Chain A
Amino acid sequence: MNPVLKLLLEGESLDTSQIGKILGMGADAVDRELAQLRKDGILLGFRPVLNPGWEAERKVRAVIEIKVRPEGMGGFDGIAERISGFEQVESCYLMSGGYDLLVVVTADNLYKVASFVHERLARIDGVQGTSTHFYLRAYKKDGFVIADDSRQGDKPSISA
């Protein structure tokens, strides 16, 4: 695997000059590697992972199951791409099972999610039905466990 990508995937927050020092290359070489990874469509980008407990004061998040009727030659892709275009949509996946598309949306409040569903999604030709579930509480997000860490300091900072 590309060593720059390998380091990034290990989850440490390192800037390009730190990565360069660790891998024994210049920061500009790291930048070039990152640019190439983006160009190749492997690295889509970076986002901070926020504690959903903090986010919840500002946003609501819902997951929407959507049943669709595939459109002729376009299959599912046409509808999925259209839905993905809405800025409220965080993620969109084609699923196996009882429904076809799984969409995660965030909005400022519950009513905005509701109006997105009935004014936008439901009016798209090919959408046959939706089922909306609101997030109540997060326990783990993007690999980070959200828990009481108050006893993490028990490990001695010096030991033999």
Chain B
Amino acid sequence: MSDDRRFVARHVAALPKSGIRDFFAIVSQMKDAVSLGIGEPDFVTPFHIREAAMAALEKGRTSYTDNRGLLALREEISRYVGLHYGPEYRPDDEILVTIGVSEALDILLRATLNPGDKVLYHEPCYVSYAPSVALCHAEAIPVRTQSKDAFALDIEALKAAWQPGCKLLILNFPTNPTGGTADRAKLEAIAKFAIEKDLLVASDEIYSELTFDGSHVSIASLPGMRERTVFLHGFSKAFAMTGFRIGYACGPAAVIDGMLKVHQYAIMCAPIASQEAAIEALRNGRDAMLHMRDKYRERRDFIVRRFNELGLPCHLPRGAFYAFPSIQSTGMDSMTFAQKLLEDQKVAIVPGTAFGAAGAGFCRASFSTSYERIHEACERIARFLDKVRAR
């Protein structure tokens, strides 16, 4: 027997590759492509935050930390979350510092799911949710969100998707890739349902600071929800700190304790320099964050207007930095549209189906890039559409 694949576990072999991967391979070969495919801020981390990491290294702070993360950071997280989201979490046993929300979600699933458990999540969504559930030998059940609701989660759709064995509900507002958000009324309906069905809620609020219209509400702040919600957050998007790989989870002590077990065996602790940078971000990063948010908002208004002018209907995303236009009028499916646009005009956007079947008919275009690039991409898309429609 010579096939090396025999070493790979069945459930891993069965995982689909990330839908972005193939696309990435093509785009990275293309020198002069204009990419609206970037899922991270185009800003560099604010200087004072970088400086905090540099200062920590210069002072020789290069050790492991407490498995839960530096106490000073957990205290800042407690203060920040209390101030901006509502719930107060104890630094000692209700907060865990992780390698981004990615790790936080992974260890939350591993700490709470038994084989065969079912997990509800809304789709289109970030690429890792369903695979992370599958890695726990559990079953992911998508709930479709729709353009007509600006991709907010409809309570009736959630109720219809529920089935016996559902233990956990993953929420992500504002949503990558749709920019969908959920207002207080919607969250209250979801909360009521979660309580009725005794669901644990994993709330990925990584884009929450990037809410452009109205204010962000965390489901963890609603009555009866703090004790059944794990609030997942990080620094990547709001403070442009993707490369620092730093995030955190706040929740009931018993759940955080379970996550801590997985975390200490798998990861030990988040890198200390990143933790030091995170402390600085929470203490002094707000002005820079608000400045970046204003920039995203201006660019959002521009790209969404352009897509609608070009006949690609696009709702105004209330949060995150993605436009999610419908490309159905072209008669192409998402992947074909994205591929042909790339081949013909060298513009990279991500097919909606990379974010689940519910993304069919849409594409994700990031406006986390310069006006110059957004403008150029829109001009090229206009030329592409002219050709397509002339046929």
Which residues of A are interface residues toward B (Cβ below 8 A)? Answer: 7, 10, 12-14, 18, 21-22, 24, 155-160
Interface of B is mostly: mixed
CB distance from A8 to the nearest CB of B (A): 11
Residues of B within 8 A of A24 (CB): 305
CA separation between A156 and B42, bound complex, in Å?
11
Which residues of B are interface residues toward A (Cβ below 8 A)? Answer: 18, 20, 23-24, 27-28, 33, 35, 37-40, 126-128, 176, 302, 305-306, 348, 350, 354, 370-372, 375
Q: Is the CB of A157 within 8 A of B302?
A: no
CA separation between A138 and B28, bound complex, in Å?
33
Interface of A is mostly: loop
Looking across the interface, which residue of chain B has its beta carbon closest to that of A18? B375
CA separation between A7 and B295, bound complex, in Å?
11
* Partner among A13, A155, A156, A160 whose Cβ is within 8 Å of the Cβ of B128: A160
Q: Is the CB of A159 within 8 A of B40?
A: yes
* Partner among B126, B127, B128, B375 whose Cβ is within 8 Å of the Cβ of A22: B375
Q: Is the CB of A12 within 8 A of B370?
A: yes
Which of A18, A157, A160 has the most C-beta atoms of chain B within 10 angstroms of its own C-beta? A160
Residues of A within 8 A of B306 (CB): 21
Q: Is the CB of B28 within 8 A of A157?
A: yes
Q: Is the CB of B371 within 8 A of A7?
A: yes
Residues of B within 8 A of A157 (CB): 24, 27-28, 33, 35, 37-38, 348
* Partner among B20, B126, B371, B372 whose Cβ is within 8 Å of the Cβ of A158: B20
CA separation between A158 and B348, bound complex, in Å?
8
* Partner among A12, A18, A159 whose Cβ is within 8 Å of the Cβ of B37: A159
Looking across the interface, which residue of chain B has its beta carbon closest to that of A3? B298
CA separation between A13 and B37, bound complex, in Å?
22
Known contacts being A158-B348, A160-B126, is A22 close to B27, with CB within 8 Å? Answer: no
Q: Is the CB of A22 within 8 A of B371?
A: yes
Q: Is the CB of A18 within 8 A of B127?
A: no
Q: Is the CB of A18 within 8 A of B27?
A: no
CB distance from B149 to the nearest CB of A (A): 23
